[in-house]
Amino acid sequence: MEVHMKELKNGELISLYMAYESEWEYRDSSIWNIVTKMFVVTLTTILIPFLYKEYCENYVPLIIFPVVGIIMDCVFLYILLSACKRYEKIGNTLFKINSMLDKKYRKEIIREKRYKTKLNYFVAYASFTFFMLLGILTIIVLILPKK
């Protein structure tokens, strides 16, 4: 038996809304958790040639580290964009449920949802661009002849 959301009563809609709101908050914290891990791991990987040059250059070509950092940056962008997409879909469903509630039960979530969704996408693309440029600059510095 299929239940359509339009057939639900306010109490059921409120319960559904609360479940989606909890998931929305979890996804938001999950995105920031991914960003934090991505930042630390990618930055460390790209900067290893400068941090541990004397230890690494005898065993591994130093240029490998920024190349691996750039590859990791691309993988993290894919993961982060898919997390942002899930976050956006949950927010859209939350907005639909909110609009179906009686006016006295509705929450003002429109601005917060749009702001957070745009911010998450911005952070994803900004961090990708930052690490891509940092990786490329590191490769250029490592390739340039030493005086």
d(CA 9, CA 102): 10
Residues 32-59 have a mean pLDDT of 87
8 vs 90 pLDDT, higher one: 90
Confidence of residue 2 (pLDDT cuts 50, 70, 90): very low
> According to the model, what pLDDT value does residue 106 have?
67
Sign of CA dihedral 23, 25, 26, 32: positive
pLDDT digits (tens, 9 = 90+) for 99-134: 777 777 666 666 667 677 888 899 999 999 999 999
- DSSP annotation of 104 reads G
> According to the model, what pLDDT value does residue 120 have?
87
Among the residues of 1-147, which ranges form H helices? 10-51, 53-56, 64-100, 110-143
Q: Token pair of 62, please?
A: 């130093």
38 vs 56 pLDDT, higher one: 38
Residue 113 CB partners (closer than 8 Å, separation 6+) = 24, 91, 94, 95
d(CA 113, CA 109): 6
> According to the model, what pLDDT value does residue 137 have?
95
> According to the model, what pLDDT value does residue 49 have?
87
Please report, as a single letter, which amino acid is at residue 77: L
Residue position matching structure tokens 């989606």: 20
CA distances from 24 to 15, 19, 39, 49, 110 (A): 14, 9, 23, 39, 13
> According to the model, what pLDDT value does residue 24 have?
85
> According to the model, what pLDDT value does residue 5 have?
57
14 vs 121 pLDDT, higher one: 121
> According to the model, what pLDDT value does residue 20 have?
85
